[in-house]
Structure 1
């Protein structure tokens, strides 16, 4: 997988504002386009920010209305556009019941297959070149965070070693780079480890969803290239954060610092911080020593390959 790009569709908590839509994150993973949550208005944001509509899979962190009601209109739009390929929807219980109701609201059937899957902590969804891991988090209802973990990439191909072993240039080089052994004309077998360096670790993207700080998310975020963590409140709203099972920006920073995450982006902001999130940013920076920023609708981030 070469491309891993995030586009923030909505960064507001609970209600849309003039400047921020409801929760939604589009992730382009090579040819795949994934959605993580789909708040009301997400499809308009996809048009606005140019992500396209070729979504393969949607993952829901939980089923508060601001995180999933946008899927109703989005599926209808896809049907009107002539989609025929299946759509897969994943989320924690009660995903089957709630998503079935949403998908069929006002309709007996959809124009294309919609397959609904319930996930629990520890479940893994395999995709081409990467996997999405479900992580149980601490919210008022069943909720999941997600880790998109890229497969390890083959080590660096040493051209001179391959030539010295008599490997002919062309398809044989490609096979070795893919991890396949090659048999030469004289019968000798050249193995990938003969010409490749050590495997290079894949990238890790962590999406918290709505949650209090919790050990499971810290563990899941170990050495993450990017942690996208909700930061609904500031320090002076700590009591409200605990009551609603949300996080403050400082707590998001503490999670990132404890996990050793390489980068932190704050999202899911209370309307109190809609146009001036400076307080949230400052408090997160006091807790986390790495690079941190506050997301805004339309923010696009590409994660580079690890060396």
Structure 2
């Protein structure tokens, strides 16, 4: 699993930051790319990466403000030109279906793949054998959601000493046993997976929130999450403005992570009022509450490694 930020600004693009978009790369988990929000010029940002738009299998929209959706029609159209022929699932609040279908119809944009649009409510968004995604309402000036992505427990490791004791030869059945499947070996012996594997390993949980004031639902979505992506439009000195506009300060984001007992906090949706030189102070304000905090920049990447989400740039 890897997170890559394509836009980390607030409201409108600036020279330093594009509008909101973050991509959850689940290629290693067999799920392709999941995109969260799609601000203006998101597809242009993708051109500066190694990401392939045709591999985007799901798009999650938090709310219908322009800095979170104005890049969507262009990306949907370009996915066709770039060879995307697999169905695409689009999730978002009420109104997303009308807006997308109208944009495509009026512009006469033809898609070469099936677009499935789901207008969601609070609760379970979808569930597969490996993942569960839930949504919760946040406190913004229009309806807005946060998403919680949970990877289900992974199969336990093969206990090679047990494999050797049982005299199980190497072969494709080892993978089946590791995947939790009991089986009959070629010599007729029946082997239970639980007898030759360890305890299931926990998967990861990541919460990706839309724009919001500090609120109880944000804490619940982030409860015990390994990583939390939270907006931090304002600093601690501009908290009054944050509340008026339905946004959070860096302190609100850190408080949410701390109360949720979340792991890594990644702050995004940073106001253009903050120049690169201001980020040290912004980071210090947040880390005073939740030390495990990073401020995302456009093209920042965070990699899941040994049970922790780590910034790639700090490891290279």
Give structure 2 stretches of 5+ with no counterpart: 309-316
| Distance in 1, Cα, partners of 2:218 & 2:131 | 19
Residue pair 1:200, 1:306 contacting (<8 A) in 2 also? no
The superposition leaves residues 203-243 of structure 1 with CA deviations (integer Å, 9 ceiling, x where unpaired) of: 11111111112222212212212111100011121111111
Partner of 2:258: 257
| Distance in 2, Cα, partners of 1:110 & 1:158 | 49
Q: RCO (CA 8 Å, sep 6+): is it higher in 1 or 2?
A: 1
| Distance in 2, Cα, partners of 1:185 & 1:46 | 49
| Distance in 1, Cα, partners of 2:156 & 2:87 | 35
Partner of 1:19: 16
How far is 1:132 from its partner? Answer: 2.4
Backbone CA RMSD of aligned residues: 1.9
| Distance in 1, Cα, partners of 2:209 & 2:81 | 33
Pair 102,305 (structure 1): closer, same or farther in 2 beyond 3 Å:
farther
Residue pair 2:231, 2:270 contacting (<8 A) in 1 also? yes
How far is 1:83 from its partner? Answer: 3.3
Partner of 2:153: 152
Residue pair 2:222, 2:228 contacting (<8 A) in 1 also? yes
Alignment of 1:65-214 (within 5 A): 65-107=66-108, 109-127=110-128, 129-184=130-185, 188-214=189-215
Shifted more, 160-169 versus 251-260: the winner is 160-169
Shifted more, 59-68 versus 122-131: the winner is 122-131
Report the secondary structure of 1:89's partner residue. Answer: strand
| Distance in 2, Cα, partners of 1:46 & 1:128 | 29
The superposition leaves residues 132-157 of structure 1 with CA deviations (integer Å, 9 ceiling, x where unpaired) of: 22222221111111122112111121
Shifted more, 71-80 versus 35-44: the winner is 71-80
Shifted more, 125-134 versus 148-157: the winner is 125-134
Give structure 1 stretches of 5+ with no counterpart: none
Partner of 1:42: 42
- The answer to whether 1:29 aligns with 2:31 is no
Partner of 2:312: none
Report the secondary structure of 1:66's partner residue. Answer: helix
How far is 1:175 from its partner? Answer: 1.4
Residue pair 2:146, 2:221 contacting (<8 A) in 1 also? no
Report the secondary structure of 1:21's partner residue. Answer: coil
| Distance in 1, Cα, partners of 2:102 & 2:275 | 32
How far is 1:300 from its partner? Answer: 0.8
How far is 1:268 from its partner? Answer: 0.1
| Distance in 1, Cα, partners of 2:109 & 2:157 | 53
Report the secondary structure of 1:125's partner residue. Answer: strand
| Distance in 2, Cα, partners of 1:128 & 1:299 | 30
